[in-house]
Amino acid sequence: MAKPVVFITGGGRRIGAAISTMLMEAGYFVLIHVRNSLADAQAIIDQYSNLNDGDVGGDIVQADLLNDDIINLIDTIVNHPKVVEYGGLFGLIHNASVYQPISFDELTFEEFKKNFTIHVEVPFLLTKGLYEQLKAKSGSVIGLVDTSQGRAWQDLTHYTASKNALRQMMINLAGDLQPHVRVNCIAPGAIISAAWEIEHFASVLEKVPMGRSGEPKDIASAAKFLLESDHISGQIINVDGGWTLVE
Ligand SMILES: NC(=O)c1ccc[n+]([C@@H]2O[C@H](COP(=O)([O-])OP(=O)(O)OC[C@H]3O[C@@H](n4cnc5c(N)ncnc54)[C@H](OP(=O)(O)O)[C@@H]3O)[C@@H](O)[C@H]2O)c1
């Protein structure tokens, strides 16, 4: 029997890698989108295969979401042999992201738009372009957002504005796509720091009620739960160790 197919953007490293790995281990065929992390994605597929008698748990799809034609990417997914064999898509996970602070003085409109392209326009285009495949399998969409809603994160206007646009778009789509396709979000707290925020990350962890960072597998568990929860749509799960309770 064909495995249910899930497509994840930016699924080759960090949190995306944990989601790709956990879903493969759970029996999904994972289409791992990458821009640069080809070797990391191949390692996930190889590791799964080595541990499972040569079974193939996924494939890699490469595209630069800022510069390549998203229509070609959609065509690749729609016509992928595993999607055709399964008869659609069980999941679409918008995980790819950019996250770099830029002071308001230095923030250009180009950079602002780049954040909206990767966090809002690409998820919109992929959701629209893959809707029929998702609908065919009563699938679901998951957006990776964050806990910045209603807060001012220093020098991150471009990032927080676009991530919260994604959050609202997902909630609105949960209404528009019902009852055929469920749409939910995961809002990670402090999980893996970016290279530029190591000190800030440590100060955040002092406030987190659970007293530690989350792990990528915590986000992966939430993704698996949402994919498999037939009666949940329009929800945002904070996976943040209680951070939003205290800030
Ligand atoms: N890390 C955290 O603690 C945290 C906290 C809150 C929210 N989140 C959210 O959780 C998700 C995963 O977090 P993360 O830290 O693992 O993400 P990340 O490392 O910042 O980015 C994930 C992937 O996005 C891909 N990407 C970036 N620009 C791209 C482009 N132009 N075209 C195609 N792909 C591109 C990269 O793929 P390649 O490597 O293949 O180039 C990268 O590996 C993100 O949506 C993030 O906003 C994370």
Span from the CA of 143 to the centroid of ligand 1 (angstroms):
12
**Averaged pLDDT score across all residues of the chain:** 97
Confidence at 67, pLDDT banded by 50, 70, 90: very high
Distance of alpha carbon 165 from alpha carbon 185, whole angstroms? 12
pLDDT for the residue 200: 87
CATH pick for 5-246 out of 2.40.160.10, 3.10.20.600, 3.40.50.720, 3.40.50.10420: 3.40.50.720
Q: Ligand 1 pocket: which of 68, 97, 151, 221 to mutate (most atoms <8 Å of CB)?
A: 97
Q: Is the CB of 34 under 6 A from ligand 1?
A: yes
Minimum mean pLDDT among 98-107, 171-180, 184-193, 198-207: which range?
Answer: 198-207
Distance of alpha carbon 234 from alpha carbon 178, whole angstroms? 10
83-96 in b/e form (b: 16+ CB < 10 A) is beebebbbbbbbbb
pLDDT for the residue 84: 98
Cα radius of gyration rounded to whole Å, the chain = 17
Amino acid type, 56: V
* Residue range 84-137, pLDDT digits in tens: 999 999 999 999 999 999 999 999 999 999 999 999 999 999 999 999 999 999
Q: Is the pLDDT of residue 247 over 90?
A: no
- pTM, entire model: 0.99
Q: Is the CB of 192 under 6 A from ligand 1?
A: yes
pLDDT cut 70: percent of the chain above it: 100
Q: Ligand 1 pocket: which of 21, 32, 35, 98 to mutate (most atoms <8 Å of CB)?
A: 35
